[in-house]
Amino acid sequence: MIASHLPALQVVVPLLGAPFCFLLWRSPRLSWLLATLISWLTFAISIALLVTVNNSGTIEYAFGGWQAPWGIEYVVDQLNAFVLLIVSGIAAVVFPYSWISVQQEVELRQQSLFFTSMVLCLAGLLGITIAGDAFNLFVLLEISSLSTYTMISMGRDRRALTASFQYLIMGTIGATFIIIGVGILFMLTGSLNMQDLAQRIPELDQSRALHVAFGFLITGIGLKLAMFPLHLWLPNAYAYAPSAASAFIASTATKVAVYVMVRYLFSIFGVNFSFQTIHIQWLFVPVSLFAILFTSIVALFQRDIKRMLAYSSVAQIGYMLLGIGLFNVTGLTATLLHLFNHALMKGALFLAMGAVCYRIGNTFIDSMQGLGKQMPWTMAAFVIGGLSIVGVPLTTGFISKWVLIQAAVERGWWPVIIVIVVASLIAMMYIWRVIEAVYLQSRPENAKNVSEAPLSLLIPVWILALANLYFGANATLSSELAGNAAATLFSGTGF
């Protein structure tokens, strides 16, 4: 009985749990416990969904018994079961971590609100991923975005407020572009259901209105996923948000937006329209190559390590778009693999920075000098995450870069490979800067002595760091999931 309602529960559990988190505002600890419980529950549900999809194929769930295309439908296929697993898995690791970190970084009276926003954000992100209805996707996108703005604004620094405001403006413009696109699609096809849209769009592929809708949707989603020239909201948002929020958003929100992009390009508009009528690859390849190089170089010059990681995120999103732009199954596999791998590595790095922030109060590179001796475990986890960003063998970063390079070889695009290698070297430089400061410099005389971060911070950091090593050494599971999903998307039977 329950099993058949799992797709709905995936979103309903956090959505209904959030008000209860809020009602417990007198006791932040209780609302945190509830939030953690919810995150574990959603993780369990997403595992169950993934197993079911792998055994018995795509699940279609009609809300309230109203059949699609009239009713709202949730669809779980191999692609979004994989993304659901990423989002809820990261939540299940970050939520337990957040208690101590939030204690220190967020005002007492706002703590329950912070946990409420986190749960709402989780609900929104899971909802975006699972929705089979274009308008429903927009509403859930706004739920997750509004709660993200709230979380960011709770950072200690007053610049968190302006960062959040800037994100609100750009995010809302993006979301509005998305509804304009959806509105035009509805005008043309009379449908909002994604499968239904996918069937009706091929007949219209010369319609100029369809091209306009495509433009609005890609720009809107591009704003949400911080596609290169539209990424300006991201560095400040990640740098000034409370650590737990940075870790959660950095490893999930942009990934979900990339998923939405893949869904629109491959399942809804279809491979033929997106790549052979519009030639979206001629936008994605140059933009992503420029993003990879430019933002990696900018990352080199950051003093705040959280901001450095934020710029590195924009470069990593470049890799994901590049995978789409290469326009072959291997490239799309690399994109999907990188969704998973980047969530693991950025999660580990931001959580490690949260632990540093907990002890020394900021994440500036000069305050971190000599920290390697005083916080050996935290910094070791940072090094693992850093090596993964660089793409050293036996880490997850290597796997996705390797597949991406294979895809470029299949295309025969050698300059692309050179850019990937050069960007990896730049990544090595910015990670090395931190390693050098932390291990080779001695602690300044006037710096206060600190001890290792508490276990409740260290355990989540190490879960993600070890996951980086495990999925780097043994990538069969993740590559199989990503490969299957990519092959299905390319075959044109997108759902």
Q: How near is the Cβ of 63 to another protein at its closest, in Å?
A: 15
Phi-psi region of 174 (alpha: psi -120 to 50; beta: other; left: phi over 0): alpha
What is the rounded distance in angstroms from the CA atom of residue 32 to the CA atom of residue 45? 20
CB under 8 Å to 483, separation ≥6 — which residues? Answer: 329, 333
For the chain, the 3-state helix, strand and coil shares in percent, each to the nearest 5, are: 80, 5, 15
Helices and strands per DSSP (H, E), number in the chain: 20, 2
**Whole-angstrom Cα distance, residue 170 to residue 224?**
8
- Rounded to 10 degrees, what is the CA torsion of 429, 431, 434, 440? -70
SS3 call for 36:
helix
**By C-beta, is 83 or 192 nearer to another protein?**
192
Closest CB 135 distance from another protein, rounded Å: 6
Bridge partners (DSSP) of residue 304 are 364
Dihedral sign, CA of 305, 310, 311, 312? positive
Smallest separation (angstroms) from another protein to the CB of 300 = 17
Nearer to another protein, 17 or 171 (CB): 171
Lookup result for tokens 């002595």: 449
Give me the least distance between CB of 140 and another protein, in Å please: 11
Answer for the pair 231, 182: CB distance below 8 angstroms, yes or no: no
Rounded CA-CA distance 233/2 in Å is: 41
Cβ proximity to another protein: between 15 and 175 the closer is 175
From the list 306, 301, 339, the residue with the least C-alpha distance to 320 is 339
192 or 315, CB closer to another protein?
Answer: 192
Which residue lies nearer to another protein by CB, 176 or 484?
Answer: 176
Binding site for another protein (CB under 8 A): 135, 138-139, 142, 146, 149-150, 153, 158-159, 161-162, 164-165, 168-169, 172-173, 175-176, 179-180, 183, 186-187, 192, 303, 364
Least distance between another protein and beta carbon 139 (Å): 6
The smaller minimum CB distance to another protein, of residues 212 and 297, is found at 212
User: Least distance (Å) from another protein to the CB of residue 493?
Assistant: 28
Min dist CB 14 to another protein, Å, is: 18
Least separation in angstroms between CB 175 and another protein: 8
Task: Identify whether the C-beta of residue 152 lies closer than 8 Å to the C-beta of residue 237.
Answer: yes
* Distance (Å) of CA 42 to CA 79, 365, 479: 17, 36, 23
Residue 76, strand partner residues: 59
CB 338 within 8 A of CB 478: no
Here the tokens at position 312 are 């590195």
Closest to another protein by CB, 186 or 377: 186
Q: In angstroms, rounded to a whole number, what is the distance separating the alpha carbons of residues 82 and 18?
A: 24
* Closest listed residue to residue 438, CA positions, set 390, 386, 494, 395: 386
Taking the complex as a whole, how short is the minimal distance between the CB of residue 174 and another protein, in angstroms? 12
| Least distance from another protein to the Cβ atom of residue 111, Å | 17
Give the nearer residue to another protein in terms of CB position, either 79 or 434: 434
- The CB-of-203 to another protein minimum distance in angstroms stands at 19
Looking at beta carbons only, is 172 or 277 nearer to another protein?
Answer: 172
Please identify, using beta-carbon distances, which residue of 175 and 384 lies nearer to another protein. 175
Nearer to another protein, 5 or 303 (CB): 303
Smallest gap from residue 154 Cβ to another protein (A):
10
CA 145 to chain centre: 13
How far from 372 is each of 356, 368, 450, CA to CA, in Å?
11, 8, 11
Distance, CA of 339 to CA of 195 (rounded, Å): 24
The smaller minimum CB distance to another protein, of residues 58 and 189, is found at 189
Q: Cα–Cα distance between 265 and 193 in angstroms, integer?
A: 15
